[in-house]
Structure 1
Amino acid sequence: MSFEPAPTRRHSANARRRPGGRRYGGELTWPTVPLEEPHAPPAPHAGRILGPVQTAPRGGRAADPEPGPFEWTQFPGHGPGPELLGAPRTVLELGPGEGADAVHLARRGIEVTAVDFSAFQIERARRWWAHVPGVTFVHADACDFLLTEATEYDAIYSMWGAVWFTDPEELLPLVAKRLAPGGVFVFSHAEPGPDAYGPQQMRGKWLEGRERELTVLRWQYTPDAWADLLKRSGFTHVDARVVPPPGDEALGTLLVRAAVA
């Protein structure tokens, strides 16, 4: 299988060109990730907080939100898009947050199920996107959902979501079992810092609606370590890399695509 890159557009005249990352194992091919013209000057994010685009108020009230672009990295307009999922009919998102990415796919005619641990996020997503057909938001723990749900999906993905905050030894085998034959699994999160591998403690108000800080674990590994974990979990094709950041930004994006036979 080969992936078609997103249309290449110049980031800026003096942007530093870097290699498109490393490839690990399997028979998949993945073209160099192009730099794309951002919708606005890229800015660093502590996390991928891109959210829906709010339209102008109408009649004294805020208009319904609209989803922004479907993007794997924390830099607007940088890197590949939904083409990494292939051409699925059914998709499961783990950790949808505000739900904008799930809605983006639903509007392409894909049946999307989006599962989030945060009741606050799910309630808001249901309220914002109640008018959009083809997307279902579920309040559940990712592993619990995968254990109890018998549905198979053509693609499962997570953008800076549940894969980052769940023990991969527990999560990855469950994901592999819920993929249809030939299905794909794609996830992204921040590039791991030097020597910051394995479970790392994070403290903050990670679930919106909380008044007190919460300590959570975040799992970080190198691309080759992720490739090994995925292969041991039942995936036969793995392509893992770090997408370099644009310009002089310091932190790139870990981006992984895996498939089952």
Structure 2
Amino acid sequence: MSLAESWDRYAVGSKPRRAVNANGETTWLNWTQYADHGPNESVLGPVAGRRVLELGSGSGSNLAHLVTLGATGRGVDIAPARETVARECWGHLPGLEFRTAEATTFLSETDETFDVVLSIFGAVWFVGPDTLLSLIRSRMAPGGILAFSHLPPGSQGPKAAEAGLRHDRTPDEWKRILTGHGFSDVRVSLIEPPEGKAVGTMLVRALAT
């Protein structure tokens, strides 16, 4: 089974996002694995008029929210089922496009540049950073923002780490790696989990120099 087929099978079994969150909003951005938890789009600064790329855009809900705030959005996901759902849910929004592609392939082939690149439990967690980050930087405008989130190192247990299923990095490792690939002002924070939960979320933000 190919990587795309594996992710497509996972996507087909995923539950749809709620139509409305706890605040009564129909669109919102969520950085963590928990509903109605963690910071919002303010991590990215003002997004109106900015070109945003999401790597691992899933059902498109996070990117759609940024487009409702005035951004232009391009979502890329390796699973064809994700593009289908995203288009059904958000295809009516102007300035928003979705594409099925592997992240490095898309970045290698596109001639677009972006002001913001985000990955929420997405490609940055699953693709080798020495390959992916250099490609991301090559498609970013100077001063652009890269932001991504994933589970903290070790939270998946030793078997996942040994199998190389995800690219867990400590805060110091991310700072070193990102700086080495043309990013600056790297900020890494751990979002504490909600009450009753044990695992938080790592959030990383950096500027394209």
TM-score by length of 2: 0.82
CA distance 1:125–1:229, shift in 2 (3 Å): same
Q: Secondary structure at the match of 2:62?
A: helix
Specify every segment of 5 or more residues in structure 2 that has no aligned partner in the other structure, as ranges: 1-13
Q: What CA distance in whole angstroms lies between the structure 2 residues aligned with 1:142 and 1:95?
A: 8
Q: Secondary structure at the match of 1:220?
A: coil
1:93 aligns with 2:54: yes
Q: What CA distance in whole angstroms lies between the structure 2 residues aligned with 1:247 and 1:123?
A: 35
Q: In structure 2, what is the equivalent of residue 223 of structure 1?
A: 171
Q: In structure 1, what is the equivalent of residue 153 of structure 2?
A: 192
Q: Displacement of 1:221 after TM fit? A: 1.2
Q: Write out aligned runs for 1:2-151 (5 A).
A: 51-54=16-19, 67-88=26-47, 89-151=50-112
Specify every segment of 5 or more residues in structure 1 that has no aligned partner in the other structure, as ranges: 1-48, 56-65, 203-216
Q: Displacement of 1:50 after TM fit? A: 7.9
Q: Displacement of 1:201 after TM fit? A: 3.2
> C-alpha root-mean-square deviation of aligned residues, in Å?
2.3
Q: Displacement of 1:139 after TM fit? A: 0.8
AA of the residue aligned to 1:117: I
Q: Displacement of 1:100 after TM fit? A: 0.6
Q: What CA distance in whole angstroms lies between the structure 2 residues aligned with 1:81 and 1:163?
A: 19
Residues matched between the structures, number: 189
CA distance 1:90–1:197, shift in 2 (3 Å): farther
CA radius of gyration, larger in: 1
Q: Displacement of 1:232 after TM fit? A: 1.0
CA distance 1:80–1:238, shift in 2 (3 Å): same
CA distance 1:173–1:196, shift in 2 (3 Å): farther
Q: Secondary structure at the match of 2:53?
A: strand
Determine what percentage of the aligned residue pairs are the same residue.
39
TM-score by length of 1: 0.67
Q: Secondary structure at the match of 1:147?
A: helix
Higher relative contact order (CA 8 A, sep 6+): 1
Is contact 2:154-2:161 (8 Å) kept? Answer: no
Q: Displacement of 1:77 after TM fit? A: 2.5
Counterpart pick for 2:163 among 198, 201, 223:
201
Q: In structure 2, what is the equivalent of residue 180 of structure 1?
A: 141
Counterpart pick for 2:186 among 213, 238, 241:
238
Is contact 2:91-2:97 (8 Å) kept? Answer: no
Q: What CA distance in whole angstroms lies between the structure 2 residues aligned with 1:186 and 1:51?
A: 24
Is contact 2:186-2:207 (8 Å) kept? Answer: yes
AA of the residue aligned to 1:104: H
Q: Secondary structure at the match of 2:93?
A: coil
CA distance 1:126–1:200, shift in 2 (3 Å): farther
Q: Displacement of 1:247 after TM fit? A: 2.3
Greater fraction helix: 2
CA distance 1:94–1:250, shift in 2 (3 Å): same
Q: Displacement of 1:246 after TM fit? A: 2.2
Deviating more after overlay: 82-91 vs 110-119: 82-91
CA distance 1:229–1:50, shift in 2 (3 Å): farther
1:163 aligns with 2:124: yes
